[in-house]
């Protein structure tokens, strides 16, 4: 995995970062004067000191293998956004953000969900979400997925990411995208 800066330097070597790389989103100190921090706060992607209760404990946000209790496994939401035709928002999940940008992004995610619901409200056959349980096909040199998220499941994952971004921003933290 690489940071966002390293990925930019790799440029064309990365085919499509939203489908070929993992993604964990961590809280980071915003750095602006509006969000002062306790100097004893750890810089390891937490919003609280060791031993203090985590404000995310009851949220049950998905956490990556190397995630902290305050982080979000953003890969799922990014893949669902891409599958539903909103790749610009998927790509933004791979960017670091200030608290203000995270708050705005949360709103952008909610608006995208609302637009998708309206766009597909009267359709009997709604688009499917991201593919999961993929297997490599040696003949086509591509991945064949065994299952796909339903439209509703995909929207729920995106809503969940919106809640995480909103909460991070509300706590005065920005976001570090790690992949």
Residue of 177, 164, 71 lying closest to 110 (CA atoms): 164
CA torsion through residues 94, 157, 164, 64, sign: negative
At residue 146, the pLDDT reads 85
Mean pLDDT of 15-37: 75
pTM for this prediction: 0.85
Confidence of residue 21 (pLDDT cuts 50, 70, 90): confident
Beta strands in 30-152 (DSSP E): 131-137, 142-148
Distance CA 15, CA 41 (A): 37
Q: Contact, 16 vs 9, CB < 8 A?
A: no
Is residue 42 pLDDT above 90, yes or no? Answer: no
Q: pLDDT tens for residues 90-138?
A: 999 999 999 999 999 999 999 999 999 999 999 899 999 999 888 888 8
| CA separation for the pair 73, 67 (Å, rounded) | 7
CB 86 within 8 A of CB 96: no
The pLDDT assigned to 169 comes to 96
**What percent of the chain clears pLDDT 90, i.e. is strictly above it?**
61
Q: What is the pLDDT of residues 58-88, one digit of tens each?
A: 998 988 888 899 999 999 999 999 999 999 9
Distance CA 151, CA 121 (A): 11
Domain ranges of the chain: 4-132+144-178
């Amino acid at each position: 995995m690489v940071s966002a800066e390293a990925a930019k330097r790799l440029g064309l070597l990365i085919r499509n970062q939203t489908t070929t790389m993992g993604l964990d989103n961590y809280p980071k100190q915003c750095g602006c004067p509006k969000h002062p921090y306790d100097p004893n706060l750890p810089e390891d992607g937490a919003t609280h000191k060791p031993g203090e209760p985590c404000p995310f404990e009851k949220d049950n946000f998905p956490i990556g293998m190397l995630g902290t209790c305050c982080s979000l496994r953003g890969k799922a939401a990014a893949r669902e956004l891409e599958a539903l035709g909103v790749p610009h928002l998927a790509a933004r999940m791979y960017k670091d953000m200030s608290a203000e940008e995270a708050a705005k992004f949360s709103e952008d995610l909610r608006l995208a969900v609302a637009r998708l619901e309206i766009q597909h409200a009267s359709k009997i056959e709604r688009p499917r979400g991201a593919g999961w349980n993929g297997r490599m096909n040696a003949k086509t040199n591509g991945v064949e997925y065994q299952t796909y998220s339903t439209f509703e499941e995909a929207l729920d994952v995106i809503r969940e990411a919106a809640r995480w971004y909103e909460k991070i921003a509300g706590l005065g933290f920005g976001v570090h995208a790690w992949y």
